[in-house]
Amino acid sequence: AQKITQTQPGMFVQEKEAVTLDCTYDTSDPSYGLFWYKQPSSGEMIFLIYQGSYDQQNATEGRYSLNFQKARKSANLVISASQLGDSAMYFCAMREGYNFNKFYFGSGTKLNVKP
C-alpha cells in the first residue's frame, strides 16, 4: 500500500483564491510527521509546513495551513490568497517513528495559478 497518496495530478486556481491540495497517508505508527514541500520548475524542494501526529492544532505558516484530520488520515494543504508564484509541484511527505527517519513522498500535485 502507498504510504502517501495525492490524488490530484493537476489543479488550477484563480489568483487570490484559496486552494486545497489533498493528501492521505497510511501508517500504523502512532508517532509520525507530515510535511509539505513545494517544487518550482527550477527543481529545488522548499519546505512549507509540518504537522506532528500528536499536535492538537492544525499547523499554519503564513498563507499555508495544514488541515489535519487524524481519523481520516488526511493532511490537506490549504493555500490562501493564491499568487502567481505559487504555481509549482507540491509534494506531501510523511516520516514514521523517530524524527530522523526517512521521508515517504507522494506523487505530487501540479498547481497552476491563473491571473
Partner 1 sequence: EPEVTQTPSHQVTQMGQEVILRCVPISNHLYFYWYRQILGQKVEFLVSFYNNEISEKSEIFDDQFSVERPDGSNFTLKIRSTKLEDSAMYFCASKGQYEQYFGPGTRLTVT
Q: What is the nearest approach in angstroms of partner 1 to the Cβ of residue 78? A: 19
The correct pick among 108, 109, 111, 113 for binding partner 1 (CB under 8 A) is 108
Q: How far apart are CA 87 and CA 37, in angstroms?
A: 13
Q: What is the nearest approach in angstroms of partner 1 to the Cβ of residue 31? A: 12
Show the cell assigned to 41: 520548475
The correct pick among 8, 27, 52, 64 for binding partner 1 (CB under 8 A) is 52
Q: What is the tally of helices (H) and strands (E) in the chain?
A: 0, 12
The count of other CB atoms within 10 Å of the CB of residue 15 is 13
Binding site for partner 1 (CB under 8 A): 33, 35, 37, 42-47, 50, 52, 91, 93, 99-108
